[in-house]
Structure 1
């Protein structure tokens, strides 16, 4: 899998076009601010179900990546992050393109 999407996630975070933390991500999903939700492979089953159910209900695209929380956290420069919501359509589109490659 192409890891270039991790660089784009880091760039989106530095541009303040991301939200982190389960509650903040769910709030952004409900308010239709989130354009894409990226979920790590080792996310707990309850968190995974809660995020995916909210995304499905509010028609927000989400992707389960093969990378674990440590890889996602390193891309963001934060610790213990299992999910990130991308708030910008341009970043979301580019990340989806890079994940699909």
Structure 2
């Protein structure tokens, strides 16, 4: 297993842990709302997300200065959290910091 895919696997495992800790906001509308209220530290978007939705989420992330990870497919994100979602927000700063450092 390459170092990059190992880091991605660790990130997805951390995402699942954050889900169990109830530190995620899932779904496009809820993520946009949480970003608006300053509740998010990180946003995951599926790499196979539609272009209009991707643009909307990117604009929100840039406006509110929230880091964004768009490496994983919808299937990978769904598998990691056990629910079919393409846009996921991370509320906890510790989880977000760990995920961002793994992805660098």
* TM-score, structure 2 normalization: 0.90
| CA deviation vs aligned residue, 1:64-84 (integer Å, no higher than 9, x gap) | 11x2101100100012x1121
Structure ID, larger Rg? 2
Q: Which runs of structure 2 are paired with 1:29-68 in the superposition (5 Å)?
A: 29-65=35-71, 67-68=72-73
The runs of 5 or more residues in structure 1 that have no matched partner are none
Greater per-residue helix proportion: 2
The runs of 5 or more residues in structure 2 that have no matched partner are none
Please identify runs of 4+ aligned residues in structure 1 that moved more than 3 A.
none
Match of 1:94 among 73, 88, 98: 98
* TM-score, structure 1 normalization: 0.93
Match of 1:16 in 2: 22
2 CA distance for matches of 1:52 and 1:75? 22
Aligned residue pairs total: 98
1:60 Cα deviation (Å)? Answer: 1.3
SS of 1:38 mapped into structure 2: strand
1:6 Cα deviation (Å)? Answer: 0.1
CA RMSD in angstroms comes to 0.8
2 CA distance for matches of 1:59 and 1:70? 26
